Amino acid sequence: MKFLHGFLPFLILAFDIFELVQAQDQSGFISLDCGLVPKDRTYVEKSTNITYRSDTDYIESGSPGNINEMYRAQFQQQTWSLRSFPEGQRNCYNFTLTVKRKYLIRATFIYGNYDGLNQLPTFDLHIGPNKWTSVSTLGVTNGSIHELIHVLTQDRLQVCLVKTGETTPFISSLELRPLSNNTYVTQSGSLIAFARVFFSPTPSFVRYDEDVHDRTWTPFLGNKTSVISTDASVDTSNFYNVPQPVAKTAAVPANATQPLTIDWTLDDITAQSYIYMHFAEIENLEANATREFNITFNGGRNWYSYFRPPKFSITTIFNPGAVSSPDGKFNFTFEMTGNSSLPPLINGLEIYKVLNIEQQETDQDEVSAMMDIKTTYELMNKRSSWQGDPCAPRLYRWEGLNCNYPVSEPPRIISLNLSGSNLTGTISFDISKLTQLTVLDLSNNDLSGEIPEFLSDMKLTLINLSGNLKLGRSVPEPLQRKIDNKSLILIRDGTGKNSKNVVAIAASVASVFALLLLLAIVFVIIKKKRKTNEASMPVSVTTGTVKSETRSSGSSIITKERKFTYSEVLKMTKNFERVLGKGGFGTVYYGNLDDTQVAVKMLSHSSAQGYKEFKAEVELLLRVHHRHLVGLVGYCDDGDNLALIYEYMANGDLRENMSGKHFNLKDSYLVKSISFHMLKHLNLGTGKLSVNVLSWETRMQIAVEAAQGLEYLHNGCRPPMVHRDVKPTNILLNERSQAKLADFGLSRSFPVDGESHVMTIVAGTPGYLDPEYYRTNWLSEKSDVYSFGVVLLELVTNQPVTDKTRERPHITEWVGSMLTNGDIRSIVDPKLMDDYDTNGVWKVVELALACVNPSSSRRPTMPHVVMELNECLAYEIERKQGSQETYTKDSVEFSPSSVSDFAPRAR
């Protein structure tokens, strides 16, 4: 007989029991009817006598619903209601159980067109941080049931539904059953049920209360098999407690002279399996009758020899080590020995696939601490991502947490950011249980009480308590000593290192006042030099289609100190002798101005960049100055000739450097521009100059510097600015490989009255464009954050932003899909040759994915991005210096067990 597929998923049919027996003890059972309302409601399901209750106490999210009433008669009552999860990517059930205890966990899904969309959902199911399986429903009334046998590593368990596409995850019922730890023992991993069958012509499946563990047994009978049965009781008191209906029936070959065969095929040919066979002699044998047989599999390999089932008593044969088949196909043959007068039989069969538990759960004490912090500060609704394991998998790490991922040890929390979370009350002692915490940000809340002394006993190097006006001013003496020893930075309102020295504070204030006075004097002197007819040029926050513009003298740019004539531009470029690059705006030429190298961008008459954009860029660069913004040397506004004259960036743009572009040695300008510092990154070949791939440290340095430039635009400018066109070609590198943002023609300023966004026609580069901005026309600094997140993904992967040959064309979708298996190497630029800190790469990818969140409100701010990237750079520098152990996320490989690796055991 042949299994065409496993028994899960299958259709749950409701059936009536005409003779109810006394229910077994349900102690330890957790039976949740998901979405059942009201939350205190319970009921006894009539076909199993199991008491079900609402899932409300185990889940913080989701919406209750009911399947279409026309389908209810087909199903057991616990599937009539359901809970769906239209919000959030990961939603988790939380259980407090017994550590190291073994549980059977069963999740049931009946769609029943509850939402009226007739759209069959597909999503993933996780056990803790590890993917359990993918859930899909074959039809409106087809049930999908998934069972797992799992040993708890902590006293907490999370079962999570993870959205993987456009459809909404849902669940009908969730059931947990304690099992004996002496059963279903594996060398590693948990067990996913593939089949659990008994051999009976009746259509009814067996569950509780006939099976005291509430395992689901499905009746099965092949074409070449017959069934024998008994009314006598069978002793089933071994560890597996096979139910009486299973023990009292058995399959035998229809032709008694032929072997009994059982076949099945696993979809995953790499899967490891555990197989449990239950046998009992259920016929009263005559004195000279014998039932003895050999069990072989897959072409005659020995499984068990000369086996005689015990009379009216169950024995279980199983393999202590996992087995596999190169093609996923299994064939078991039960054949009489020469001593036997009766054909072989089998009463029950269980087949499981190994689920490898590769992701370790966060340290249990820290999980408990985070749960307590979540409860203390009532963060359930404020932090929707705080579900499941705090640190794992990395892709779904809790917002505001950074974690360390040591090899073979649980992840540990190393930073906690609760800034702006409306926290009230005192600083919770539960924070002290995060023993590896180095950064704590509680700024901009409403905390009160005193600064607790326990903070001095922690590994903290940075504490930010600014913006908590009710918090006590005194600093505990042990904490002050750490501040004085410069092992800790404590940020309070108005200062970054709380000192008791009032005199020092007063001196600082006086210094600031003197500086302001000096700046005021300089400003007055400069103002007197300006001509009275100069007027400021407003920058419009709304733009339409760019058209040619007529310019009056009154609209010219105000500052004349850096203005050049067209003839001066011709002179500095030697009549436009050397082209550095071309774009939609026009052509960039190499030039020299008083022995200073410059880059001259001439605005083409056919350029889409009009005079407004030209003036906007000049005005911006004349009033802002930052080491990571390309400096404006001057400009030309001479008739129809428009030019911007920048500081020269010798090493080109980031995209060129990522591609490893080759340069011709005959180009003397390029050779001259390469400093001695860069020689170690160059390979000299036959007539070519090849720039090697950027190292991970260099990429991180570039990311930090570009982020600092963007952060300055958002927070250092008055009024603040949005760049609107952040991309690798607008990140330039000078001769020291220092990164600077360029091309501010699309930049827009915000009003100074507190508005956080402006309405404007969408502008930017496809692939980097914020989808929320594109959809709503509302521009904010978070639009830049989205674009920068895309750039970060390019730095990690060296992949194009869009590639139609990929299954997921856009880089954000592609990275997300590739990371579902938890292997960071699958996306990292192979040119890096694994020379990077894995924790740092994970951190950057997580940060990038946060930046490209479809909802701008859930994206981090640029100050947060800068802080995170600085940590990543520090990881890499420490690794290079040898002071930090390199942690790598190796994939675990399993090889099939050979026959000699195990001998099936009988119980």
Q: Mind listing the pLDDT tens digit for each residue in 510-550?
A: 444 445 555 555 454 444 444 333 333 322 222 233 333 33
Higher pLDDT, 423 or 652: 423
Please check the confidence at residue 558 and state whether its pLDDT lies above 50: no
- Outline which parts of the chain fall under CATH 2.60.120.260: 30-179
The alpha carbon of residue 590 and the mean position of all alpha carbons in its chain are separated, in whole angstroms, by 45
* CA dist., res. 10 & res. 145, Å (int): 7
Q: Mind listing the pLDDT tens digit for each residue in 797-842?
A: 999 999 988 888 999 999 988 887 777 888 999 999 888 888 889 8
Largest separation between any pair of C-alpha atoms in the chain: 125
Confidence label for 138 from pLDDT (cuts 50, 70 and 90): confident
Residue with tokens 């930052």: 626
In this prediction, residues 478-497 reach a mean pLDDT of: 82
Confidence label for 252 from pLDDT (cuts 50, 70 and 90): very high
Please check the confidence at residue 133 and state whether its pLDDT lies above 90: yes
Looking at residue 807, its pLDDT comes to: 85
Amino acid at 664: N
Looking at residue 432, its pLDDT comes to: 96
> Are 79 and 172 within 8 A, CB to CB?
yes
Q: Mind listing the pLDDT tens digit for each residue in 56-97?
A: 999 999 999 999 999 998 899 999 999 999 999 999 999 999
Give me the CATH topology for the region 656-894.
Answer: Transferase(Phosphotransferase); domain 1 (1.10.510)
CATH superfamily of 30-179: Galactose-binding domain-like (2.60.120.260)
Looking at residue 662, its pLDDT comes to: 33
State both tokens at 880: 């290079």
In this prediction, residues 582-586 reach a mean pLDDT of: 70
Looking at residue 822, its pLDDT comes to: 75
State both tokens at 563: 């203005």
The closest alpha carbon to 71, from 31, 15, 14, belongs to 14
pTM of the model: 0.61
- Outline which parts of the chain fall under CATH 1.10.510.10: 656-894
Q: How many CA atoms lie within 13 A of 104 on its CB side?
A: 21
Burial class (CB in 10 A: 0-12, 13-18, 19+), 712: buried
Confidence label for 689 from pLDDT (cuts 50, 70 and 90): very low
Amino acid at 245: P
In this prediction, residues 185-206 reach a mean pLDDT of: 92
- CATH C-level class of 364-498: alpha beta
Most confident of 140-154, 504-518, 652-666, 864-878: 140-154
* CA dist., res. 868 & res. 129, Å (int): 23
Looking at residue 12, its pLDDT comes to: 37
* Phi, psi for 332 (deg, rounded to 5): -110, 135
* CA dist., res. 326 & res. 332, Å (int): 15
Looking at residue 780, its pLDDT comes to: 87
Confidence label for 774 from pLDDT (cuts 50, 70 and 90): confident
**What is the DSSP annotation of 340-374?**
-SB---BSEEEEEEEE---SPPP-HHHHHHHHHHH
Per-chain mean pLDDT for the chain: 82
The closest alpha carbon to 781, from 701, 700, 694, 864, belongs to 864
Q: Mind listing the pLDDT tens digit for each residue in 376-391?
A: 999 988 888 899 999 9
- Outline which parts of the chain fall under CATH 3.80.10.10: 364-498
Q: At what angle do helices 862-881 and 781-797 cross, to 10 degrees?
A: 20
> Are 800 and 658 within 8 A, CB to CB?
no
CA dihedral (163, 168, 172, 173) in degrees, to 10, reads 20
- CATH C-level class of 541-648: alpha beta
Looking at residue 637, its pLDDT comes to: 86
Q: Mind listing the pLDDT tens digit for each residue in 320-366?
A: 899 999 999 999 999 999 999 999 999 999 999 999 998 899 999 99
Higher pLDDT, 570 or 671: 570
Please check the confidence at residue 687 and state whether its pLDDT lies above 50: no
The closest alpha carbon to 282, from 333, 342, 196, 238, belongs to 342
Looking at residue 668, its pLDDT comes to: 29
In this prediction, residues 696-723 reach a mean pLDDT of: 90
Q: Is 601 annotated as a binding residue?
A: yes
Higher pLDDT, 18 or 590: 590
**Does the N-terminal peptide bond of residue 201 adopt cis geometry, omega within 30 degrees of 0?**
no
In this prediction, residues 473-489 reach a mean pLDDT of: 93
Looking at residue 498, its pLDDT comes to: 41
Looking at residue 751, its pLDDT comes to: 55
In this prediction, residues 206-228 reach a mean pLDDT of: 93
State both tokens at 846: 């997580």
Please check the confidence at residue 34 and state whether its pLDDT lies above 70: yes
- Outline which parts of the chain fall under CATH 3.30.200.20: 541-648
Give me the percent of the chain exceeding a pLDDT of 70: 81
In this prediction, residues 251-268 reach a mean pLDDT of: 94
Please check the confidence at residue 702 and state whether its pLDDT lies above 60: yes
CA dihedral (722, 725, 729, 733) in degrees, to 10, reads 0
Annotated catalytic, 725? yes
Q: What is the CATH number of domain 218-358?
A: 2.60.120
Single out the catalytic residue among 725, 743, 784, 837: 725
Span of 84-98, 196-210, 514-528, 647-661 with lowest mean pLDDT = 514-528
